[in-house]
Amino acid sequence: QVQLVESGGGLVQAGGSLRLSCTTSRSLFSINSMGWYRQAPGKQRELVAAFTSFRSTMYADSVKGRFTISRDDAKNTVYLQMNSLKPEDTAIYYCRAGVGIVYWGQGTQVTVSS
């Protein structure tokens, strides 16, 4: 079982930055894939950024060049640095861990005002 605790969301003006954190209850080395997803009101949950099983990264086209996913293995934490935020980035952001089955965090709200 994997427990995920997210933090770092909030309200920011367009063009601003936020950094989200996701701390896991077990070593990142024991988790096949880690990533960030988001869900805006009335929309389906979508991939934002992720580490794949081969430690490479992938990003949604809408965030490429603005968002960066990173990890601190010593802290069992994955980060999402979000720069040049836009109002359309407003959503609840979820951390996801894959270890054969999928675990989700509770989500953290990100609101970008215009």
pLDDT tens across 12-30, in order? 999 999 999 999 999 998 8
CA distance 112 to 89: 7
Q: What are the tens digits of pLDDT across the range 50-59?
A: 997 667 999 9
Stretch 81-96: mean pLDDT, rounded? 98
Mean pLDDT rounded to a whole number for the chain: 95
Name the band, by pLDDT with cuts 50, 70 and 90, for residue 32.
confident
